[in-house]
Amino acid sequence: MKKILLVLDAAHVDTEIIHFACNFATLSHSSLTGLFFGNYEEEAPDTKMEFGAPYIEEPPVYSAGPNITLQQLEDHITQFKRSCAVRGVRCQVQFNNNSYGSESVIEESRFADLLIIKASATRERKWKDTPTPFVKDVLAAAECPVLVAPNSLAEIKEIVFAYDGSRSAVFAIKQFTYLFPELAEKKAIVLQVNKDDDMPVTEQDHLGKWLRLHYSSIGFKVLQGKATEALFTFLHDRQHTIVVMGAYGRNGLSELVKPATAAFKRR
């Protein structure tokens, strides 16, 4: 992996997610690109008259509504660069003027190896539910793997592969493994929700053989019940866990995103 894309609100410096992304960039020896999103419009400069001729008293100023100025934006970008430099992470900054929707994030994801976004990222300052509509749009259409970051930084000690037997789930497992070979020593659990008690022997055998080539410790866990509810119950109190799921997990993601759990999703 070479390029990680980090989605950042240009109006607010979130040091936690920057530190989180820097840790992954350090782990994978990747560069980190901060994609600042916002709705910026150029304000018309004040024009005055003197000696019968017009002149501009102040240079043009950019704003993102009442909450940010050009100086604040530059300060936030500087802080991002400084945080990366302190951790020895190579970084770049991208900002698209007048781009406040998910479309620009999705477009940039086409040329990234991994996209990191916080579940609370939003265009609406007062949106309380997570993941927000903005994040859901990104998850639905992103063209690279997406890592939904937790609200607080925590060391990853365990990987849970949510598995439903689909090609999407297997692809997500492979993609995560290829992106983060450095996590090979972490405990890996294949978690499946079935009506029956057991995972089909053939699938467990094939998947187990493949995983043992990449991880030093693996296990299988089968739950019964509705997938979303069973996953939530299993993951609710687990700490330092990253959850890997394919596209099937998109609808249930809102119930799985908790402060101590990061979720990795691949379309």
Reported as a single tens digit per residue, the pLDDT across 24-73 is: 999 999 999 999 886 555 454 555 555 555 545 554 444 444 456 788 88
- Is the model's pLDDT at 93 over the cut of 50? yes
- Is the model's pLDDT at 128 over the cut of 80? no
Which residues, 6 or more positions from 237, have their beta carbon under 8 angstroms from its beta carbon?
none
> ω before 150 within 30° of 0 (cis)?
no
Fold of 3-40+68-149: Rossmann fold (3.40.50)
Of 49-58, 114-123, 200-209, 220-229, the one with minimum mean pLDDT is 49-58
Find the distance separating the first CA and the last CA of the chain, reported in whole Å. 18
Fold of 158-265: Rossmann fold (3.40.50)
Report how far residue 173's alpha carbon sits from residue 162's, in angstroms, rounded to the nearest whole number: 9
Q: What pLDDT was estimated at residue 121?
A: 80
Check: CB of residue 221 under 8 Å from CB of residue 198. Answer: no
Q: Is 148 exposed, middle or buried (0-12, 13-18, 19+ CB in 10 A)?
A: buried
Domain definitions of the chain by residue range: 3-40+68-149, 158-265
Rounded mean pLDDT of 108-136? 81
Q: H helices then E strands: how many in the chain?
A: 8, 14
Q: What pLDDT was estimated at residue 232?
A: 82
What is the model's pTM?
A: 0.81
- Tell me how far the alpha carbon of residue 199 is from its chain's centroid: 30
Check: CB of residue 149 under 8 Å from CB of residue 17. Answer: yes
Report how far residue 224's alpha carbon sits from residue 92's, in angstroms, rounded to the nearest whole number: 46
Reported as a single tens digit per residue, the pLDDT across 94-114 is: 886 555 568 888 999 999 999
